[in-house]
Amino acid sequence: MIVRLEVNGERRLVDLPPLTRLLDALRGPLGLTGTKEGCGEGECGSCTVLLDGDPVNACLVATAQCEGRSVTTVEGLGALDGRARETGGLSLLQAAFVTEGGAQCGICTPGMLIAAEALLRETVDGANRKPTDTEIREAVAGNICRCTGYQRIVDSIAQAAALRRRVSPADWVRENLPFAKAEGTRGLL
């Protein structure tokens, strides 16, 4: 079945069995392996992506359900600032996860960032206010992290909320993450 969808702002087309999980479409033919699989049954949140702006579990969404809809993955977050190149591909939210300790092993991080991005759009962008601690914890309550104890994640999101729309992402990232290199440093040897 041919499904047309918009992924990270680009029109894409996949030809897959209709119930292929969106997760497999992203990681396979769409080549976006930033979205991770931790449990395959909607329990860990590692595969969270935005579907028409709302966080969903890509392991529980059929590709056919995405016809004509927009999908945002972690690879699309940096581009949202519109100045991705100047920031090494990092949005303020992503940068805050690096400086505040929100990312440790990193496997839950893409899903966590997506859930946080939806919250910041709703609160900072939509209502011009910072989310509360409880709102942050509720926004990521569907994303399991086994490394951090969540405190640094909450702190990272709070910092991103405080900076969002107040500082220039390019300037902030340049200043606070002078050596940011977004390319993966490891692979098959």
Partner 1 sequence: MKLFTYDAVSSLPAALAARRGTFFAGGTTLVDLMKLEVLTPERLVDIGSLPLTKIEATPARLRIEALARMADVAASHDVLRNYPVVAQALLRSASPQIRNMATIGGNLMQRTRCSYFRSVAEPCNKRVPGSGCGAFEGDNRSHALFGGGPACVATHASDLAVALVALDATLTLTSAKGSRDVPLAEFYLLPGSSPSTENVLAPGELITAVNATGGPRAARSLYVKVRDRASFEFALVSVAAALALEGGMVKDVRLAAGGVGTKPWRLAAAESALRGQPATLAAFEGAAKRSLEGAMPLSGNGFKTSLLERTVVKTLARLGGVS
Partner 2 sequence: MSNVGTSVPRTDGPSKVVGTAKYVDDLSMPGMLHGATLRSPVARGILKRIVKDPAFDWTGITFVDATDVPVNVVALIQDDQPVLASHEIRHRYEPLALIACDDALRLARAARHVTFEIEPLPAIFDPRASFERREIVAPPDNVFGRYRITKGDAEAALASCEVVVSGTYSVHHQEQLYIEPQGVIAWFDERGAHVHGSIQCPYYVQKGVKKTFVLTESDVDVVQTVTGGGFGGKEEYPTVISLHALLLAKKSRRPVKMIYDRQEDIEATTKRHPAEIGIVTGCDRDGTLRAISIHVLMDGGAYVTLTPVVLSRGILHAAGAYRWEHVLAEAVAVATNTPPNGAFRGFGAPQTIWAVERHLDKVARQLGMDPLVLKSNNVLRVGDTTATSQTLKESVGIGECIEKARTASDWDRKRALGPVVQGRKARGIGACVFMHGAGFTGSGERRLKGRVALDLLLGGRVRIRTASTDIGQGTETVFSQIAADALGLPMSQVEFLQPSTARVPDSGPTVASRTVMVVGSIVEAAARELKERIDAEQAATGLDRRRAMDALVFRAMGTAEHVYDTPRDLEWDDATYRGDAYPVYGWGCDIAEVEVDLDTFETKVLGFWAAADVGKAIHPTHCKGQIEGGTLQAIGWALHEQIVWKDGAILNGRMTNYIVPTSLDAPPFTTLLVEAPYSRGPGGGAKGIGELPMDGGAPAIAAAIEHATGISMDNLPCLPEDLFERARKGRAA
Q: Which residues from 110-169 bind partner 2, rule CB under 8 A?
A: 110, 113, 133, 136-138, 140-154
36 is a contact residue toward partner 2 (CB under 8 A):
yes
98 binds, among partner 2, partner 1, none (CB under 5 to 8 A by kind): partner 2
Interacting residue ranges for partner 1, rule: CB under 8 A = 1, 17-19, 21, 40-43, 45, 48, 51, 54-57, 59-62, 64-65, 67, 115, 138-139, 141-142
176 is a contact residue toward partner 2 (CB under 8 A):
yes
Q: Which stretch binds partner 2 (CB under 8 A): 32-40, 50-58, 118-126, 163-171?
A: 32-40
Whether 113 contacts 93, CB under 8 Å: yes
| Closest CB to partner 2 among residues 67, 106 | 106
Whether 173 contacts 92, CB under 8 Å: yes
Question: For residues 139 and 123, what is the distance between their CA atoms, to the nearest angstrom?
Answer: 11
10-15 and 2-7 beta bridge pairing: antiparallel
If one counts every other C-beta atom within 10 angstroms of the C-beta of residue 110, the result is 26
Whether 115 contacts 55, CB under 8 Å: yes
Whether 43 contacts 84, CB under 8 Å: no
Contact residues for 179 (Cβ-Cβ < 8 A; gap 6+): none
19 is a contact residue toward partner 2 (CB under 8 A):
no
Question: How far apart are CB 134 and partner 2 at their closest, in Å?
Answer: 9
172 binds, among partner 2, partner 1, none (CB under 5 to 8 A by kind): none
